[in-house]
Amino acid sequence: MKQQNMIKNGSYKADGFIGAYQKLVKEVVIPYQYSVLNDELPDVEKSHVIDNFRNAAAAIRGEDVKDGFYGMVFQDSDAGKWIEAAAYSLQNCPDKELEKTVDEFIDIIADAQDEDGYLNTYFTIKDREKRWTNLLEAHELYCAGHLIEGACAYYEATGKRKFLDVMLKNVKHIYKHFVTDNNEGFPGHPEIELALLKLYRITGDKDCLELCKKFIDTRGVNTDFYKQEKEKRDWTVWGNNAEDNYYQQSNAPVRNLDKATGHAVRAVYLYTAMADLSGETDDEELFAACERLWQDITERKMYITGAIGSTVHGEAFSTDYDLPSDTAYAETCASIGLTFFAARMLEKEVDGRYSDVMERAFYNTVLAGMQLDGKRFFYVNPLEVVPGISGVIATHWHARPQRPGWYGCACCPPNVARLITSFGKYAYGENESTAFCHLFAGGRVEFSNGMKFTCETRYPYGFAITYKIEKGGRLAVRIPSWSESYLVLLNKKPVRTEKIKGYVYIDVADGDTLIITLDDSIRTNYASTRVHDLTGKVALSRGPLVYCFEGADNDNDVLSIALKKRCRAMVTENGNLPCESIAIGVEAVRKTDSDSLYSFEPPTEEEITAVAVPYYIWGNRGENQMRVWMDEA
């Protein structure tokens, strides 16, 4: 049973919480990011993405533009991600102006493609002789992957083939190098693998599948590959360690992997492709590896916010249970990648544990990655912030207390944009007989199997989800694992339903009204005592939202607050919130100690009501303390 994403004829027109975010992305993020790519903003670090393509085209025409490349070696990928986000936005909400902008951008990209199909501005501008000589560092395949994803999304949104054809031609070039000419190699940064599967499903071109399979199958087989590659060349981008196979997930054939290691984004992009390919090719051995990796990540290496990759050293997975709050790396892109991985696992097997993680990552880390106004972004998502330490001292420099603007390395912002605009692909799925509601997202949904409904909900702040059925069939709705109790009402009558792997299955008819009510209680979360940074601590959540405590709501001092054991907590109106949201008031004590660094006197404790806000809105009210995991009094 395959739960395909709605890539063919389905549609999702969002409203409510998701609708508002999609509107923000359309009205603010996409135009803002385009201005950045075009170097139009004076106070923002130069991006040069579009000029790089123009200069590559000039190089192809034989002009001297050797100094015409600016930015990271993977700068082209921003073009792919931006177009992908714009395409999803167009799919959600047509916009002639935006479409025209994208078309012009695509023309510029197309001009930068070499006669033989090669397309990469870094090498085309700087030195075409060096193509394919540095898979370890040079991100050629990574950039191609993002451009392919952009091309697929734009084709789906508009039916226009130009970009798709450009990228198909590029894939044929890559296919020739790696398959026909049988050059050894696999991507330093996985990404093209998952893109090739998208392209394969759209075009039916078997070369895409074969090329993907080759990259997956050869990865980690020759563990000296990067070392040998390095020995053959006389140049480097960053001087990456070619022997750290764990960093680049090439320590073993991927079917043998059982531990998530190395750069977290690379890892989950790879696992996403592995899961997708295993479904596409019914490769149970490959799926078993994905299952082991999934368990390793979600049972030993994931923050409560759905963040992964806890260490700044290599932006990487750390060892089991090493989940520090204040020095967390927890990159936004890694949680986006985890969402991709979850979605592909879900396609292979409908199981709420995948959608639970997808939801945890999205509503906490991914949303926290973007400022509420859509203009600034976190790459790093710490679970504790102390001004003066966070973002300042060497061990914490990466864990900034406020969202910075656009970086030179701008991976996260367009990634957030494309995930939000494509939310429907993760929220809803279908097979021939069933419509799946993996996540709760208000709006009108049409499936290619003919089913249609409108979903009404104030989720994630309201816990009744109403499906007004236009065209019936079988509906599978996830009951999140955090919802201990739930109620299913069909046309106002309770329905007894068995939960199968986290989903209830209900047959609905045209005109039916199905209401699912989930548990709205505030929950106290405990971490395993194996997490040495979290012993003695608790965190609050409500629904999918993990809560945090900020100085802004708590007299500028969160460190001295301890929550009462088995504390009573209630939702509360709080005028101080920077957006429509719901705060939590909780019984707590404020500790006041003497002025000494150490004392034999316990601090005095005053009863207070501490205020928690959803983690994703932290850092929107200036620099202040923030804590997810609180002491218990």
Least Å from the CB of residue 213 to a second copy: 33
Least Å from the CB of residue 95 to a second copy: 41
Answer yes or no whether residue 548 interacts with a second copy by CB under 8 A.
no
Answer yes or no whether residue 355 interacts with a second copy by CB under 8 A.
no
**What residues from 284 to 313 belong to the interface with a second copy (CB under 8 A)?**
298-300, 302, 304, 311-313
Using an 8 Å Cβ cutoff, are 481 and 352 in contact?
yes
Answer yes or no whether residue 593 interacts with a second copy by CB under 8 A.
yes
Q: Which of 280, 315, 359, 384 is catalytic?
A: 315
Rounded Cα distance between 214 and 107, Å, is 31
Which tokens hold the place of 388? 């003066």
Tell whether the torsion through CA atoms of 622, 623, 627 and 631 is positive or negative. Answer: negative
Using an 8 Å Cβ cutoff, are 388 and 399 in contact?
no
Among 9, 433, 529, 556, binds a second copy (CB under 8 A): 529
For a second copy, the closer CB: 94 or 536: 536
Instruction: Return the range that interacts with a second copy (CB under 8 A); candidates 99-107, 260-268, 407-415, 598-606.
Output: 598-606
For a second copy, the closer CB: 395 or 576: 395
Least Å from the CB of residue 521 to a second copy: 10
Answer yes or no whether residue 622 interacts with a second copy by CB under 8 A.
no
| String of contacts with a second copy for each residue 176-215, x by CB under 8 A | ----------------------------------------
Answer yes or no whether residue 591 interacts with a second copy by CB under 8 A.
yes
Least Å from the CB of residue 202 to a second copy: 37
Answer yes or no whether residue 586 interacts with a second copy by CB under 8 A.
no
Least Å from the CB of residue 600 to a second copy: 5
Instruction: Return the range that interacts with a second copy (CB under 8 A); candidates 84-92, 343-351, 441-449, 599-607.
Output: 599-607
AA identity, residue 583: A
Cβ atoms within 10 Å, residue 597: 6
For a second copy, the closer CB: 208 or 312: 312
Instruction: Return the range that interacts with a second copy (CB under 8 A); candidates 71-79, 136-144, 404-412, 535-543.
Output: 535-543
Which tokens hold the place of 114? 């070499």
Rounded Cα distance between 538 and 528, Å, is 11
**Exposed/middle/buried for 594, CB within 10 Å: 0-12, 13-18, 19+?**
exposed
Least Å from the CB of residue 569 to a second copy: 13
Using an 8 Å Cβ cutoff, are 423 and 22 in contact?
yes
Least Å from the CB of residue 459 to a second copy: 20
Answer yes or no whether residue 598 interacts with a second copy by CB under 8 A.
yes
Using an 8 Å Cβ cutoff, are 469 and 512 in contact?
yes
Task: Reply yes or no on whether 409 is catalytic.
Answer: no
CA angle in degrees (0–180, nearest 5) for 43-47-53 = 145
Among 183, 223, 528, 556, binds a second copy (CB under 8 A): 528
Least Å from the CB of residue 623 to a second copy: 15
For a second copy, the closer CB: 491 or 529: 529
Instruction: Return the range that interacts with a second copy (CB under 8 A); candidates 124-132, 259-267, 518-526, 572-580.
Output: 518-526
Answer yes or no whether residue 559 interacts with a second copy by CB under 8 A.
yes
Answer yes or no whether residue 259 interacts with a second copy by CB under 8 A.
no
Instruction: Return the range that interacts with a second copy (CB under 8 A); candidates 105-113, 570-578, 593-601, 616-624.
Output: 593-601
Residues 6+ apart with CB under 8 A from 72: 408, 409
Rounded Cα distance between 510 and 491, Å, is 11
Which tokens hold the place of 188? 């330093």
Rounded Cα distance between 358 and 481, Å, is 12
Residue 136 sits at φ, ψ, to 5 deg, of -55, -45
DSSP strands (E only) in 343-482: 384-385, 428-430, 434-437, 443-446, 452-457, 464-471, 473-478
Among 527, 548, 582, 584, binds a second copy (CB under 8 A): 527
Answer yes or no whether residue 326 interacts with a second copy by CB under 8 A.
yes
Q: Which of 152, 333, 411, 548 is catalytic?
A: 411
Of 428, 513, 431, nearest to 478 (Cα)? 428
Rounded Cα distance between 199 and 170, Å, is 12
SS (H, E, C) 312-345: CCCCECCCCCCCCCCCCCCEHHHHHHHHHHHHHH
Task: Reply yes or no on whether 315 is catalytic.
Answer: yes
Answer yes or no whether residue 620 interacts with a second copy by CB under 8 A.
no
For a second copy, the closer CB: 17 or 618: 618
Instruction: Return the range that interacts with a second copy (CB under 8 A); candidates 84-92, 180-188, 249-257, 524-532.
Output: 524-532
Rounded Cα distance between 455 and 468, Å, is 6
**Exposed/middle/buried for 205, CB within 10 Å: 0-12, 13-18, 19+?**
middle
Of 214, 185, 154, nearest to 206 (Cα)? 214
Rounded Cα distance between 496 and 78, Å, is 48
Least Å from the CB of residue 560 to a second copy: 4
Answer yes or no whether residue 525 interacts with a second copy by CB under 8 A.
yes
Among 8, 100, 501, 530, binds a second copy (CB under 8 A): 530
**Exposed/middle/buried for 444, CB within 10 Å: 0-12, 13-18, 19+?**
middle
Considering only CA atoms, give the Rg of the chain. 24
* CB environment 472-481: b (16+ within 10 A), e (fewer): bbbbbbbbbe
Rounded Cα distance between 148 and 198, Å, is 8
Answer yes or no whether residue 486 interacts with a second copy by CB under 8 A.
no
Answer yes or no whether residue 395 interacts with a second copy by CB under 8 A.
yes
Answer yes or no whether residue 564 interacts with a second copy by CB under 8 A.
no
Least Å from the CB of residue 596 to a second copy: 7
Torsion region of 444: left, alpha or beta (phi above 0 gives left; psi -120 to 50 gives alpha):
beta
Among 19, 31, 253, 603, binds a second copy (CB under 8 A): 603
Among 526, 572, 574, 581, binds a second copy (CB under 8 A): 526
Among 52, 92, 560, 620, binds a second copy (CB under 8 A): 560
Answer yes or no whether residue 482 interacts with a second copy by CB under 8 A.
yes
CA angle in degrees (0–180, nearest 5) for 141-144-147 = 155
**What residues from 373 to 392 belong to the interface with a second copy (CB under 8 A)?**
384, 386, 388-389, 392
Rounded Cα distance between 348 and 277, Å, is 10
Rounded Cα distance between 85 and 609, Å, is 42
Q: How many CA atoms lie within 13 A of 224 on its CB side?
A: 3
For a second copy, the closer CB: 235 or 238: 238
Q: Count residues contacting a second copy (CB under 8 A)?
A: 59
- Which residues make up the interface to a second copy (CB under 8 A)? 298-300, 302, 304, 311-314, 318-322, 324, 326-327, 384, 386, 388-389, 392-395, 482, 484, 523-533, 535-537, 557, 559-560, 562, 566, 591, 593, 595-603, 631-632
Q: Which positions are annotated as active-site residues? A: 315, 411
